[in-house]
Amino acid sequence: MSSVHHTNTKKLWDYLESLHQKYETISDKLSKQDIINKQKEFIKLSKKLSTLQAFEYKYLEMQNLLTQKQEAETLLETSDESDIKELADDEIRVLTQKIQQLEQKIIQLVVIDQAEENRNVFLEIRAGAGGNEASLFASDMLRMYSRISERKAWKSEVISTTYSAIGGIKEIILYVKGSGVNSNLQFESGVHRVQRVPVTESSGRIHTSTITVAVMPEVEDVDIEINTTDLRIDTFSASGPGGQHVNKTQSAIRITHKPTGIVVTCQDEKSQHKNKDKAIRVLKARLYEFEKKKQENKIATTRKSQVGTGERSEKIRTYNFPQNRVTDHRITIRNFNLETILDGNTDELFKELKAYHTKKRIETRLTQIIA
């Protein structure tokens, strides 16, 4: 084994050992009666232990391989018999290969957070540049995500809708629940651009419009807590397409989180209580995303001068109607059929996006863990 690879293995082993210590500490806490009696704390610790379980298995596997390799190296150094030395040398080569393969599996575990991957999400679509055409495109995108949900047997529920004057969508929040929701949708956040001839355009000119998509993982009470004194809650009458009032009672809810300035509005339910409940759920998701982005920005700022961001700050995807193609600007290997994508058949697109982001995460984590 080269000295560089030996250093990498040791760094990764040190990282695994630190997770093993956390695993042991949490296991010990969970066995104590005072924690068992505190349900909220018990659930929180149990979830942490669950996320560490896969690392614990890899730790034990790596420990076994390193022990075997050390024994083979000792045998190689101390034996005087050529046959024994040859067997030990072969054993070291096999074990070194197994250790390298296990390292790659561990790194993939590091970059793929299973707890995060399996969360349900709040998917927010907002009309951007392009006026009425943007709001119509937002409606098309809602249909696309609804079709994706149908194909994957997910459940989707509209949490809140704001319509444009012509019946398009200014903003909509869709709650999507099911297996692997965030794993598939997490890379949809960003600016989506459409190029097409609007139905209102008589001269046949192609217009460019945009919408923004935000994907916010759903969080539970144990993930994030909200201080009620930090909230300002306003009520108002709900309105429908075109701005007409659909409910004369003050059932619509607007919640402002004063420390961050995050505002959530919910008006789709006739009950003020139900609207408030939905708005709180969306607020928790936004606050969770807010804190996560703060952490990511800290990491990005410290590394920017060395490696750059590598991300496009503008559009992530273009839907070109005249050419019947979809281009994702993060993966430029090939284009995708527009009709297929809009009908929710996104498996190949999502697969390539996941591979692209996993590779980037591995590169980043390799730098942080074993560089």
| Distance between first and last Cα of the chain | 17
Which residues make Cβ contacts (< 8 Å) with residue 94, sequence separation at least 6?
none
Run of H or E including 319:
strand 315-320
Which residues make Cβ contacts (< 8 Å) with residue 180, sequence separation at least 6?
117, 118, 152
Quick one: 72 and 174 in the same domain? no
- Please give the share of the chain, as a percent, with pLDDT higher than 90: 33
Concatenating the DSSP letter of every residue in 204-269 gives ---EEEEEEEEEEE---TTT----GGGEEEEEE--B-GGG-BS-SSS-EEEEEETTTTEEEEE-SS
- Taking only the tens place, the pLDDT of each residue in 171-228 is 999 999 998 899 899 999 999 999 998 876 666 788 899 999 999 888 765 567 788 8
* Per-residue pLDDT at 196: 92
Quick one: 278 and 355 in the same domain? yes
- Taking only the tens place, the pLDDT of each residue in 245-270 is 455 567 888 999 988 889 888 888 88
Lowest-pLDDT range, 36-40, 67-71, 280-284, 360-364? 360-364
Quick one: 260 and 149 in the same domain? yes
Is pTM beyond 0.75? Reply is no
Q: How many helices (H) and strands (E) does the chain have?
A: 10, 11
Quick one: 105 and 35 in the same domain? yes
Question: Which tops the pLDDT comparison, 288 or 335?
Answer: 335
Q: Is 264 left (phi over 0), alpha (psi -120 to 50) or beta?
A: beta
Q: Rounded to whole angstroms, how far apart are CA atoms 222 and 171?
A: 29
Question: Which tops the pLDDT comparison, 366 or 354?
Answer: 354
Q: How confident is the model at residue 135 (pLDDT cuts 50, 70, 90)?
A: very high
The CATH number of whichever domain residue 261 belongs to comes to 3.30.70.1660
State which of 111, 133, 155 marks the end of a domain.
Answer: 111
Sign of CA dihedral 145, 194, 354, 23: negative
Quick one: 72 and 142 in the same domain? no
- Does the pLDDT value for residue 138 go beyond 90? yes
Q: How confident is the model at residue 72 (pLDDT cuts 50, 70, 90)?
A: very high
Quick one: 95 and 121 in the same domain? no
Structural domain range at position 72: 3-111
Quick one: 176 and 247 in the same domain? yes
Q: In this structure, are residues 107 and 365 in contact, taking their beta carbons and an 8 Å threshold?
A: yes
State which of 111, 142, 168 marks the end of a domain.
Answer: 111
Which residues make Cβ contacts (< 8 Å) with residue 83, sequence separation at least 6?
none
Mean pLDDT of 48-66: 89
Could you give the number of structural domains in the chain? 2
Which residues make Cβ contacts (< 8 Å) with residue 270, sequence separation at least 6?
247, 249, 251
Phi then psi dihedrals of residue 220, to 5 deg: -105, 170
The CATH number of whichever domain residue 107 belongs to comes to 1.20.58
Q: Rounded to whole angstroms, how far apart are CA atoms 223 and 283?
A: 13
Residue 309 within any structural domain of the chain = no
Query: Residue 94 half-sphere exposure, CB side, CA atoms within 13 Å?
Result: 8
Q: What is the mean pLDDT of the chain?
A: 82
Q: How confident is the model at residue 295 (pLDDT cuts 50, 70, 90)?
A: low
